[in-house]
Amino acid sequence: MIVIEDRQSLDSWVEQSRMWGGKVGFIPTMGALHEGHLALVREAKKTCTQTIVSIFVNPTQFGPEEDFSQYPRTFEKDRALLEEIACDAVFLPSPEVIYPPGGQTYVAVEPLASQLCGASRPGHFQGVATVVTILLNLVRPHAAYFGVKDYQQLTLIKQMVRDLAMAVEVVGVPIVREEDGLALSSRNRYLTAKERQQATALYKALLAAQSLFKNGELKAIKLEKAARKILYESGIEQIDYVEVRHRKTLACQLSVEDPVMLIAAKVGKTRLIDNMVLST
């Protein structure tokens, strides 16, 4: 596996990979890789001739009070994992490679970026949309792979790619869960043993809402109330949101149709998110 750190080497790799009809699959990450990321690489490898992962802890998507400096940086372990599954290349840029001095341009996907996670993390999705645009412009992949776990991020990137007529296929890859249902996340490593146990309530809350929906409950407020109850009962008190939205647009709805439930809550000091399409 080749490690690429600068724009020029990346350009040569991309040129070569696209030659003779080659198909490039791209997985943008912030490192601290786990099975969820590896599932994205495996998905890419099914149809792409070359697969490249980027590892860049993007400063512009962290708020001033967030965990940018503490975010896990585990490159040697990440590299070994990627080598094991025969990933072709890893792009490991410095902040200056991504954001050369003098930049003035940002990508804002509004109003989607200001809702749900965007409401409590102002600027987060502008940082995500901007860095993903830069990365896509540098890597020029045929397909880019994102986890369904970050449902709002995936929806926003699909919207951005459509709005800006970007020539890339956006592929959503299903959530990978632990045996007890906890969605894999690089932030799970912050949880204490007690919090790790509590964190399973997010999945249980989603399952409860799904079961209610399947039994005919269509009122968003009732579905949300049932999920909140399970979170509170497990001792999770800092709930950011529990919302049922339209699966494709994330529009609010009183009486739900094709719904997804999204949850964000703090377990101890760790903010976790999860979601479930209720009709599946």
Active site members? 37
Q: Cα(104)–Cα(99) distance, rounded to whole angstroms?
A: 10
Nearer to ligand PAF, 131 or 265 (CB): 131
Q: How far is the CB of 160 from ligand PAF (least distance, A)?
A: 12
Instruction: Decide if residue 24 touches ligand PAF (CB under 6 A).
Output: no
8 A C-beta contact, residue 13 and residue 2: yes
Q: Binding residue for ligand PAF (CB under 6 A) from 150, 195, 243, 274?
A: 150
Binding residue count for ligand PAF, defined by CB under 6 A: 10
Nearer to ligand PAF, 136 or 256 (CB): 136
Instruction: Decide if residue 28 touches ligand PAF (CB under 6 A).
Output: yes
Instruction: Decide if residue 273 touches ligand PAF (CB under 6 A).
Output: no
Q: How far is the CB of 68 from ligand PAF (least distance, A)?
A: 11
How many C-beta atoms lie closer than 10 Å to residue 239's C-beta?
Answer: 16
Instruction: Decide if residue 30 touches ligand PAF (CB under 6 A).
Output: yes
Q: Cα(276)–Cα(261) distance, rounded to whole angstroms?
A: 5
Instruction: Decide if residue 25 touches ligand PAF (CB under 6 A).
Output: no
Q: Binding residue for ligand PAF (CB under 6 A) from 48, 128, 244, 250?
A: 128
Nearest to 111 by CA among 256, 249, 258, 271: 249
Pairing of strands 89-91, 50-55: parallel
User: Using DSSP, how many helices (H) and how many strands (E) does the chain show?
Assistant: 10, 9
Q: Cα(110)–Cα(127) distance, rounded to whole angstroms?
A: 13
- Kindly indicate which of the ranges 22-30, 171-179, 219-227, 252-260 contains the residues binding ligand PAF, using the contact rule CB under 6 A: 22-30
Distances from the Cα of 137 to the Cαs of 15, 20, 168, in angstroms? 13, 21, 10
Nearer to ligand PAF, 50 or 58 (CB): 58
Residues 125, 128, 129: CA angle, nearest 5 degrees: 85
Q: Binding residue for ligand PAF (CB under 6 A) from 131, 144, 250, 276?
A: 131
Residues that bind ligand PAF (CB under 6 A): 28-30, 58, 61, 128, 131-132, 150, 153
